[in-house]
Structure 1
Amino acid sequence: MITENATRHHRGRILTGIGAAAALAVVLAGCSGDGSTPAEAGSSSNPSDSATSQLSQEVDTLSQPLDAYPVPTEAVTGVSDLAGGTVYYVPITLRAPQFAVTQSGIEAAAKAAGLKVQVCDGQGNPTGVSSCVDQATQAHATGIVLDGAPYDLAANSLDAAQAAGIPVILSNQIVDERHPVSKTFAYVPPAGSEQLIALSKWIAVDSDGTANILFNRSTDGPGQIAYVEAATTALPDFCPGCTATVYDVSSANFAQIPPSTSSALLKNPDVNYLVSEFAEYLHPASDGVQQAGMTGKVQMLAAAAALSNIEEVSKGGLAAVAAQAAAYQGWVDLDAVLRLVADQEVPEYTIPFRLFTPESAKDVTLTPEAEQSGEWFGPTTFTDQFKKLWAVA
C-alpha cells in the first residue's frame, strides 16, 4: 500500500491539474521533520518468471536510442524577421547538469534562426527567477524560456512579461490549470516521471523484485513532486515485492541534503537502492550515504543525468541513470517561442529519454560533442528538420 496521495500521469507523460499538486502539498506539510515518508509497494511475493522476462525486455528497450526524433511537421512563419532578437533562457538553477546541455541546444537553435540567447541563473529561489524574468522584460526580449521552475515561483514577473507582449515557455514542468496556455504562454513537458519509472524497472530486475528503494524528492515545484509520486504509484504494477520510501530535498537548501539523506537511511536501514530525482542531488546524497555508514550497501541511481553521470555508470561508480534528450529540448524550446511569436499553435511536444545501464553506457560515445549533438537518443538530423521548418536551412 502506498501511504501518500498520488495521481497517475496522463498518458504516462504529465500530470494535468493543480488539484493533484495541492493534494501533494498537504501531504508534504504532514511529513516528519526530514520529509521521510514510507511508500510500501505490494506484498512480499516475487513476480513470476514470465513477468520478470517481460520486464527485462522493457528495460532493454528503454536502454536503446530512437529510430527518429519526434520533430513537429508544421512550418513556422516569419522567423527571418526576428533576426537579431534575444531569447532569455532561465533555468531554475545552473547546478543541474541537464540545463547546461539544454542551454547549448537552445544557443545552437537560436544561432540557426539568427537570434541570440541570454542565460540567467534562477538560483533556485523566487527572487532569482523573478529577477531574471524582469531583466528579460526590460530588455524587450523576443521570448523567455523558464526551465524547471513552477509558474508561481515568479508569477507576477511572468504575468508582466506577457502583458508586455513577450511570449513565455515553461519547460520541464507539469501543466497547471490555473495558468492555461494562451497566445503568449505554452508548456514543454518533460519526461520526468518516465525516467524515474524506468530506473525503478531496472531496480526491479536487478534486485529480482525485492528492492528497498529510497527516493529523494525535490520540493522545488509541483512537477518535481508529481514525478516521484508517479514512480511510487507505478511500482506495485511491476514490482509487488519492492518497497519505496521518499524523503524531501530542494535546490534552495543544498547543504541539508547530506544530513537529510543520512537521517532517512538510518530510519530505513534495509534500503539498498537510492534514486536521486535529479543528478544535481547525487553527490550530496552520496555524502549522506557515507554519513550513515552505508557506503557499499546502497546502490546509487539518478534521473536527469548528463555526461559525467553516464561516465560514472560505465565505470561502475553508479548503478544506472536516466537522461532526457536535453539538447533536443533546447531546439524544441526555441521552436515553441517562434510559434508563439508567429501566433501559431504550439504542438504537443515529446522529449525522448533513455536509460543508461552498465551495458548501454558502454555503447555510446562519451564526449561533450556527442552529448550536445543528441546522438545518444536518436539520429542527429533533427537540427536540419527544425531549420527546414523555420525556413532558415
Structure 2
Amino acid sequence: MLSNRRTTMNTASLIRTRRVRMLAAAGTIAITALALTGCEADSTGAASAGDSTSTAAADSELATSVAALEKPLDAYPVPTEPVSDVSGAKGKVFYYIPVTSKSPQFAVTQKTLTAALDSVGATVQVCDGEGTPTAIGACITQGTQAQAAAIITDAIPYGIGQNAFDAAQAAGIPVIISNQVIDDKHPASDTLAYIPAGGSAMQEALAKWITLDSGAAADVLINQGTDGPAPAVFVAAGQAVYDSECPDCTITINEVSSANQSLIPSSTSSALLKNPDITYVESQFQQYLQPTQEGVQQSGVESIKGVTGSVLLGGLQQLQAKNFLYAAAGQAAAFQGWVDADAALRLIAGVELPEYSIPVRLFTQDTIADVTLTEEAELSGEWYGPTDFPEQFSALWGVK
C-alpha cells in the first residue's frame, strides 16, 4: 500500500501538518488491488516483473543524478560579454552587507569580492546586518550616506530594508541583492540587480541523497531559516524532490533564525523527542550546524545522520572526520564574490547584466577524501571547478 508523505512544522509551540490526500490514496489502493487480482490470474508474473524493472530504473536514475552532483564542473559559467569601461569604480568604496556575519559563507564571498574590486582600484566596506531589520537598514543607510559606488547585499530580501533600499537608489547608488529570491514588487532595473542563490539547488541535492541513502523511506527534520522568504522557497524545492522521489518520506520543519541561534538546540531536541523516528537532521545553512548538533545530543536520540547546506571548510572538515555529518551541499561562495563585483561594475557602466549562475556541489563521506580541505582551496574555488575564473573576469573588465 502506498502512503503520501506527511509534512509537519515545529517552531517552539507551532506545528503544521500537511493534510494527507486520502481520496487519492484510496484510489491508488483500489487500482493496486485490481492490478494484483490480474497478476494472480496471470501465471507468468509479467506485471510484477515490470514493476520491479520500473523501480530499479528509477533508483538507477537517482543514483546517476546524485553521482553527477558530487563532481566539480569542467568550467565555471563566467559571462562572455565584456565591460568596456570600469574606470568609474577606481578609487571608490563598495559596501558589502551580509544578512549576518555568523555565516562562514559570507566571509568567503567578502574576501573574493574584495580581491575582485581591488583589481579595478576599488575598496570594500563591510557592514554586518546582524540578522535584524534595524541593523540591515542602518547598514544600507550608511552606504548611501557614504556615497558608495554600489551597495551589495547578501541574503537580504528587499522587503526587510525597503525604505533604505529605495533611498539608496533614489540617490543614484546601484544595489545588488544576491542570494535571495526576486521580489516581484521590486523588479530589476538600472539601479537594482538580483544575483541568483544556490539555495534551491542545495536543498534538491540533499533531498536526492537522503532519498537514495534511505531507500526512499526517510524521516527528516529540517532546521529551516526564517530570515526573509527565501529559506522557505529553497526548502520547498527540496520537498518537491521528496514528493516525486520519496512519497513515503516524512519531513518535519523546525523554524530557526540567525538572530535567535541560542534557541536552536532546545527546539531541535524538542522536535526529536516529539518524533523519535526521525533519522536525518538537516541544518539548512552551516551557521545553524553547531547548535543543531547540540540539540541532537541533548535529545539523546540515536542513529541520527546529520546533513547541512551552505557548507564551507569547517563543515567539510567535520564531514571528513565523520563527526555527525554524512552529506553536505554547498555553493561556490568564492565565485559568488567575483559575480557580485561583475554585476556592480556593469550597473555602474550602464551595461546590461547577463544571467548569472552559482554552481552547487554535493559532498559525502564517500567522496570527501578527494577534496583538498584548506583555506587556500576554499578561496580558489577549486571545490566546484577550475580556478581560472578570476583571470576570465579580469579579461572581461580589461584588467591585466
1:182 aligns with 2:189: yes
**Alpha-carbon offset, residue 232 of structure 1:** 1.2
Structure having greater relative contact order (Cα 8 Å, sep ≥ 6): 1
Q: Summarize the alignment of residues 15-26 of structure 1 with structure 2, pairs less than 5 Å apart.
A: none
What are the ranges of 5 or more consecutive residues in structure 2 without an aligned counterpart? 30-50
1:319-371 CA-to-partner distances (Å, cap 9, x unmatched) read 11100000100000011111111111111110001001112211111000000
- Does the 8 Å contact 1:39/1:246 carry over to 2? no
Match of residue 301, structure 1, among 292, 307, 331? 307
Match of residue 96, structure 2, among 85, 89, 93? 89
Q: Distance in 1 between matches of 2:18 and 2:309?
A: 19
1:312 aligns with 2:318: yes
**Alpha-carbon offset, residue 205 of structure 1:** 1.4
**Does the C-alpha gap of structure 1 residues 176 and 380 become closer, same or farther in structure 2, counting only changes over 3 Å?**
same
1:75-129 CA-to-partner distances (Å, cap 9, x unmatched) read 1132134211111110000111111111111011111121101111100001111
**Does the C-alpha gap of structure 1 residues 101 and 192 become closer, same or farther in structure 2, counting only changes over 3 Å?**
same
Q: Distance in 2 between matches of 1:278 and 1:290?
A: 19
**Alpha-carbon offset, residue 56 of structure 1:** 1.2
Match of residue 232, structure 1, among 227, 239, 243? 239
Q: Summarize the alignment of residues 19-98 of structure 1 with structure 2, pairs less than 5 Å apart.
A: 33-38=12-17, 48-98=55-105
Higher mean alpha-carbon deviation, 74-83 vs 119-128, is at 74-83
1:262 aligns with 2:269: yes
Amino acid in structure 2 at the alignment position of 1:181: A
Q: Paired residues, what number?
A: 368
Larger radius of gyration: 2
Q: Summarize the alignment of residues 186-205 of structure 1 with structure 2, pairs less than 5 Å apart.
A: 186-205=193-212
SS in structure 2 of the partner of residue 187 of structure 1:
strand
Q: Distance in 2 between matches of 1:144 and 1:41?
A: 45
Match of residue 278, structure 1, among 272, 276, 285? 285
What are the ranges of 5 or more consecutive residues in structure 1 without an aligned counterpart? 5-26
Q: Summarize the alignment of residues 1-393 of structure 1 with structure 2, pairs less than 5 Å apart.
A: 1=4, 33-38=12-17, 48-294=55-301, 296-317=302-323, 318-393=325-400
Question: Which position in structure 2 is the counterpart of 1:15?
Answer: none
- What percent of counterpart residues are identical? 48
Higher mean alpha-carbon deviation, 86-95 vs 229-238, is at 229-238
Q: Distance in 2 between matches of 1:370 and 1:32?
A: 37
TM-score (norm 1): 0.89
Amino acid in structure 1 at the alignment position of 2:92: G
SS in structure 2 of the partner of residue 137 of structure 1:
helix
Q: Distance in 2 between matches of 1:40 and 1:267?
A: 19
Instruction: Output the aligned Cα RMSD.
Output: 2.1
Q: Distance in 1 between matches of 2:198 and 2:208?
A: 15
SS in structure 2 of the partner of residue 375 of structure 1:
coil
Q: Distance in 2 between matches of 1:199 and 1:69?
A: 22
SS in structure 1 of the partner of residue 61 of structure 2:
helix
- Does the 8 Å contact 2:11/2:254 carry over to 1? no
Q: Distance in 1 between matches of 2:361 and 2:62?
A: 16
Q: Distance in 1 between matches of 2:5 and 2:58?
A: 22
Amino acid in structure 1 at the alignment position of 2:303: K
Q: Distance in 2 between matches of 1:115 and 1:171?
A: 20
TM-score (norm 2): 0.88
1:229-257 CA-to-partner distances (Å, cap 9, x unmatched) read 12112212122232211111111111111
**Does the C-alpha gap of structure 1 residues 101 and 41 become closer, same or farther in structure 2, counting only changes over 3 Å?**
farther
